Structure 1
Amino acid sequence: MSGSVAPRLSKIRTVLALVVLATIVVGTVLGVRMMSGAEADDVGGSWYAGYVDVTAVPRYAFEAGAPHPEGPSETGAEEAPAEVPSRADDVVLSFIVAEAEDTCAPSWGTHYSLDAAGYEMDLDRRIARLRESGGDIVISFGGAINTELAVACDSVDELIDAYGQVIDRYSITTIDLDIEGPALQDAESIQRRAEAVAELQHMSREQQKPLAVWLTLPVVPQGLSSEGAEVVAAMLEAGVDLAGVNVMTMNYGEARGDLPMLEASVDSLRSLHRQLGALYRQAGVALSDDQLWHKIGATPMIGQNDVPGEIFTLEDARGLNEFAQEQGLGRMSMWSLNRDITCGPNYPNTDRVSDACSGVQQDGVRFSELLATGFTGRAAGAAGTVTAEVSEETTPVVDDPETSPYPIWNEEAAYLEGTKVVWRGSVYQAKWWTRGDLPDDPVVNLWETPWDLIGPVLPGDRPMPRPTLPEGTYDEWSGEQTYERGERVVVEDIPYEAKWWTQGESPEAAAVDPDGSPWRPLTMDEVEKILEQ
């Protein structure tokens, strides 16, 4: 998610020294009161909190629970309504980044140090007001622009200090690490971040203070990228107890294909669920399906997305919330509360993304209300949750040849592209020639496995005949014979076709080097066509 690109308020005034001193005094007093909202309503469970772009102009009044920015926006947005909810919501304040590319010091969007944000934006005081009214904050580090602290800091100790300054100043129990852009490709920062967060969480728990850690990562309908998966794996390997992985269900680009936005978002979450299961299993942790769903968060970009043609509608919000409730997602967010309003008449080009309005006609309906429905927990209440492995033993499924619609997978057998097998109560189909690859192997990326999961074996299923070529259809392969392009042979009943002139090269080597082998195995479709002739 991007930070604001709108103008910022502010130059440091000549009375800097006096204001800084006053801020420190106020901060000391507020430090005692910062947790009052969370303590008054310490409810765990699934929670909702919309993102607020703290430095964007017009400034969003998160502290008052107001649904719109303060007063008319530069884009013609309507004024905020006078009524204020009796209890403010939790919000995700974004983004803490490095002051400069090579400076290991936290700032709000590079524009304000923590102290400057206190006196120029009254941020500490506004957070205290939010907490007094029953709300609370999560703070997000990173984002699509500027430099994430783990990239700027040179050591784990420096990074612990930088993160710690933010955690201590704002007395937060939940942090959100938004890792995207160059930070996804920076292997050193990924490791540095994982080690620093693991130590911070360990120290917090020793002091009987919860510190929940959420990763926010880009996603497509096929799931996390390999870089995104590596960020998760590094955290688990370092010993971080992740509260969950929140994915940005937005800006899919070409990966979306012809899918509607809601369907693309649902597919993304299902893919993430499968990937998380594999990542935890690779880390030696067994979690149930329900536990995995609870470790997933969704953050759509409401209205017009950054990618032209991608528009997340109010109906999409209703559908995503319904899916989230059905599956038991642990978190729902949105980008951003600043934008949760219809653009005014002075903003005619709604195809261009605005920081202050959604770009779609909302007719008084708020995306935040639709997405928050059913999320009754609070971030602070959920922060104390510790991940526990599944304790109950499960009886492995034993496949029965008498009721399996396809042959039961055999480690020694070779399978052509398109072949269907049964394994542990499910039907799988081979994407390419394979032998010895377990159909339910916990891989993170689908391209790592030659098998597609089709679905479960159904009651009433019975064996279906497997098509095989009659004996003598093709000659057995011989290492002494030469073969021209297009000639076909069989090896252990598997038919192959020569891609070019060859002699002495076994067709079975195609499984190891399909591009370099002069042979390719026929597909099941080709076998069936031969049988029809």
Structure 2
Amino acid sequence: MRRSRLAAIGLAAATFAATAVSLVLGASSATAALSRNWYAAAPYLMPQSNNPPDPVTVMNATGLKAFQLAFILAPNGGGCSPTWDGTDPITTDTTVAAAIARIRGAGGDISVSVGGYGGTKLGQTCGTVAATAAAYQQVVTKYQLKAIDFDLEEPEYENSAAIANELGAAKTLQASNPGLFVSVTMPGTAAGTGWFGTQLLDQAKAIGFTPDNFSIMPFDGGFNGGSSQVSALEAFHGLLMSHLGWDSATAYAHEGFSGMNGKSDAAEMFYTADFQTVYDYATGHGLGRFTFWSVNRDRACVGTTDNGVCSNVPQNDWDFTRFSVRFAGATPPQTTPPVTTTTSPGGGSCTAPEWDRTKVYVKDDVVAHHGHQWTAKWWTQGEEPGTTGEWGVWQDNGAC
């Protein structure tokens, strides 16, 4: 998954405060595994950067029970020891462990994703299958994982030795940890996946490795909405049959979708309607996984258009996460948006409609906000009146 390399934006102290390792792992070890469909539906969450939301807030609002925490990498300076984002060794981690304990304490669980877009992957640095597997086993053991995701992307994706290490390690973990849910995620193209993806499938077959699913990421490749993603998934279904020798039903059951909500890195736009299109295809054909990048981005942009922390499309908070809940077989809680009445300091009422952060406004549109009336100077979405100064998009017309 592509992701902004933001410096970690501090998490609320009550949410992700460092906790004694013994306390954190004690809480983790008492948690039973969820049903496997939750791990198949777990959306990605960066727990240390990209302005992470409080996971329990997301769980309470949506009914979600599982997150895919990202990413485990090799150390930036080299070596074969697992770290978070290439900088924080898991051996000394308490911050992510505390987040995991918090999720599990609320009745949920996590999977951990290894690899991703950018950074140095353990398959590149560990040298052998056994060394790569031993490094990942540290992650499984420390966090007592019931699920793990191998997100195999550039530049590792194009390195046959590194991919052999990753797939061999995945097979080893699967055998050493009975019941471990293992997913493999790779880039998607209009043809399903590219040449390196088909080589990956061939390598998996050659070593006798069958994960719970192979998932493609149909974005950042000239895609245009949900219908183009469905077409790519159907093409990938054909590749699973031809390269792995599976029948149609087996291929669908081991196929997964890993999307990107909102504006992609390549400026493709994926709206909730597009997710609905892919969701209908996935559930109608019995696909084995439905996930997306990322929960950090599952909110409308307010005061920023940073693609790492918001979706850049009209939405309510966690609208895309609710698709994950439905795919897992649960019903998201129903919420009623609060009714806002704007009043002036003098007790009167504004007659213009209240500003809505999810709505697109154009020049001369008028809204009310915080007891003032505002006129848009040009196209805007998510920019809150009164926060952008005199040179911003909103002209303050005074109290109303």
Q: Into which bin does the TM-score normalised by the smaller protein fall?
A: 0.7 to 0.9
Report what 1:269 is aligned to: 233
Partner residue of 1:314 out of 272, 278, 291:
272
Q: Which residue number in structure 2 is paired with residue 181 of structure 1?
A: 154
Amino acid at match of 2:285: Q
Closer/same/farther in 2, CA of residues 323 and 306 from structure 1, 3 Å limit: same
Query: For residues 467-506 of structure 1, what are the structure 2 equivalents within 5 Å?
Result: none
Contact 1:130 1:136 in 2 (8 A): yes
Distance 1:134 1:365, change over 3 A: closer
Q: Which runs of 4+ in 1 moved over 4 A?
A: 43-46, 85-88
Q: Distance in 2 between matches of 1:61 and 1:225?
A: 36
- The residue identity in structure 1 corresponding to 2:73 is V
CA distance in 1, matches of 2:102, 2:75: 27
The alpha-carbon distance between structure 1 residues 58 and 155, as it changes in their structure 2 partners (threshold 3 A), is same
2:212/2:254 contact within 8 Å kept: yes
**Helix, strand or coil at the partner of 2:74:** strand
Deviations 1:65-111 (A, max 9, x none): 427xxxxxxxxxxxxxxxx3495421110010001253111111013
Deviations, residues 417-447 of structure 1 (Å, cap 9, x unaligned): xxxxxxxxxxxxxxxxxxxxxxxxxxxxxxx
Q: What secondary structure is seen at the aligned counterpart in 1 of 2:93?
A: helix
Shift of 1:300: 1.3
Q: Residue 93 of structure 2 aligns with which residue? A: 117
Structure 1 partner of 2:394:
none
Distance 1:368 1:66 in 2: 8
CA contact (8 A) 1:46 1:294 kept: no
Out of 376, 380, 393, the residue aligned to residue 329 of structure 2 is 376
Note the alpha carbon deviations across 1:397-434, whole angstroms, 9 max, x for none: xxxxxxxxxxxxxxxxxxxxxxxxxxxxxxxxxxxxxx
- 8 A Cα contact 1:175 1:211, kept in partner: yes
Other-structure match for 1:241? 210
Matched, 1:154 2:154: no
How does 1:19-418 map onto structure 2 within 5 Å?
23-33=20-30, 35-36=31-32, 38=33, 41-42=34-35, 44=37, 47-62=40-55, 64-66=56-58, 84-85=60-61, 88-100=64-76, 102-118=78-94, 121=95, 123-204=96-177, 209-253=178-222, 256=223, 260-281=224-245, 287-308=246-267, 310-344=268-302, 346-347=303-304, 350=305, 353-363=306-316, 366-376=319-329
Are the structure 2 counterparts of residues 368 and 42 from structure 1 closer, same or farther at C-alpha, using a change threshold of 3 Å?
closer
Cα distance in 2 for residues equivalent to 1:55 and 1:364: 20
CA distance 1:358–1:212, shift in 2 (3 Å): same
Letter of the 2:212 counterpart: A
Taking a change above 3 Å as real, the CA distance of residues 117 and 59 of structure 1, as seen in their structure-2 partners, is farther
- Which amino acid in structure 2 is aligned with residue 66 of structure 1? V
Instruction: Note if contact 1:45-1:330 (Cα within 8 Å) is conserved in structure 2.
Output: no
- 2:292 aligns to what SS in structure 1? coil
Please tell me whether the aligned partners of residues 115 and 152 of structure 2 are also in contact (alpha carbons under 8 angstroms).
yes
Q: Find the aligned partners of 2:117 and 2:38 in 1 and give their Cα distance.
A: 29
Looking at structure 2, the residues matched to 220 and 32 of structure 1 have their Cα atoms a distance apart, in angstroms, of 40
Task: Report the CA distance between 1:177 and its aligned residue.
Answer: 0.7
Contact 1:198/1:240, CA 8 A, preserved across alignment = yes
Shift of the alpha carbon at 1:112?
A: 1.4
Root-mean-square deviation (CA), in Å?
Answer: 2.4
Q: 1:153 to 1:291 in 2, by over 3 A?
A: same
State the percentage of identical aligned residues. 24
Which residue number in structure 2 is paired with residue 8 of structure 1? 8
Larger radius of gyration: 1
Structure-2 separation of matches of 1:211 and 1:364: 31
Residue identity in the other structure for 1:2:
R
Q: Which runs of 5+ in 2 are unaligned?
A: 11-16, 331-400
Instruction: Provide the rounded CA distance (Å) in 1 between the counterparts of 2:41 and 2:198.
Output: 24
User: d(CA) in 2 for partners of 1:86 and 1:219?
Assistant: 28
C-alpha contact 2:66 2:109 (8 A) present in aligned 1: yes
- Residue deviations 1:343-385 (CA, integer Å, cap 9, x gap): 01x22xx4xx5211100111557112135424328xxxxxxxx
Query: Alignment partner of 1:66: what SS?
Result: helix
SS of match in other structure, 1:95: strand
CA contact (8 A) 1:304 1:360 kept: yes
Tell me by how many angstroms 1:45 deviates: 8.4
Q: Indicate how the Cα distance of structure 1 residues 32 and 186 shifts in structure 2: closer, same or farther if over 3 A, else same.
A: same
Distance 2:280 2:294 in 1: 20
Three-state SS of the structure 1 residue aligned to 2:293 is: coil
What's the offset of the Cα at 1:114? 1.2
Helix, strand or coil for the counterpart of 1:263? helix
What residue identity is the alignment partner of 2:182? V
Instruction: Name the CA distance, whole Å, in 2 between partners of 1:101 and 1:138.
Output: 26
Relative to structure 1, the CA distance from residue 96 to residue 51 in structure 2 (aligned partners, 3 Å threshold; closer, same or farther) is: same
Shift in Å, 1:330 = 1.1
Aligned to 1:382: none
The change in CA–CA distance for 1:199 and 1:46 in structure 2 (over 3 A counts) is: closer
Name the TM-score, length of structure 1 as normaliser. 0.57
TM-score by length of 2: 0.75
The runs of 5 or more residues in structure 1 that have no matched partner are: 11-18, 68-83, 282-286, 378-533
Q: Which amino acid aligns with 1:6?
A: L
SS in 1 for 2:196: helix
Answer whether contact 2:25 2:97 (CA < 8 A) is retained: no
Shift of 1:31: 5.0
